[in-house]
Amino acid sequence: MSDRSAATAAAELNVDVERRPRHIAVIMDGNGRWAQRQSLPRIEGHRQGVASVRRTVEECSRLDIEQLTLYCLSSENWKRPQTELDFLMHLLEQYMIEERSTIMDQDIRVRIIGRRDGIPDRVLREMDKTIELSAANGGTLLCLAINYGGRAEMIDAIRRIACEVQKQSLKPEEISEELLADYLDTAGMPDPDLLVRTAGEMRISNFLLWQISYSELWVTEKCWPEFQVDDLHHAIRDYAARDRRFGGLAK
């Protein structure tokens, strides 16, 4: 990001850099509800949701946010109608192709968390290509949670640790919070400072269960297709005004 863009972003936010969240995670909820309210098919809500993804990613890059994690598809979403799932896979493939030049221009690095099972090969190929091409970028890390569930992630991590114990390459007493974190999909990433949820739902929906232990929550009644840059700024300002004590006393 240019010095001019950084200065403009700082002026618009009016939040000191050290008070901003390093890592913002978003539960992008309400695509279908938004479409129904507009008397449109649910898939149109998902299409409009991609526009919200684009502006949120670009603004986080402009603000020099270290990481943005988006909950794109949960492991429970496979219960939805096949036509909707097929459209979601199409949108994901399309996003990986069409946004690739923007990702590179803005120095964004892409990572994916979640299980690969069930995702069509053509989509996996485009995901892997974008990850590989952006691997050396040094700007905002865009982490997409696809076919992701927090409980499944922890089960997978525990299984891998159990295998290490079984091979006697790890002792049970060596298992710690830090070690478990190293076996999660998010290994090497900072925990989210701020968790944003749209559409007014007051739950975390099996998202980053381990990582959000001390995250600040921010919920808006707006559905995801309605989420604007001003809403992102509002969430960041609210976060910056909070006193994060991590179990201690206020200073």
Which of these is catalytic: 3, 14, 31, 77?
A: 77
* Cβ-based neighbours of 22, under 8 Å, separated by 6 or more: 65, 66, 67, 190, 193
Which of these is catalytic: 14, 16, 29, 121?
A: 29
Distances in Å between the Cα of 148 and the Cα atoms of 69, 84, 112, 225, 238 are: 12, 18, 9, 21, 28
What six digits make up the tokens of 38? 């507009």
Distances in Å between the Cα of 219 and the Cα atoms of 41, 223, 246 are: 25, 10, 20
186, 113 contact by CB (below 8 A): yes
Q: From the CB of residue 18, how many other CB atoms can be counted at a distance below 10 Å?
A: 6
Beta bridge partners of 142: 68, 110
Distances in Å between the Cα of 84 and the Cα atoms of 30, 77, 88, 91, 117 are: 14, 10, 6, 11, 18
Distance between CA atoms of residues 233 and 227, nearest Å? 11
Is 77 part of the annotated catalytic residue set? yes
Residues belonging to the active site? 29, 77
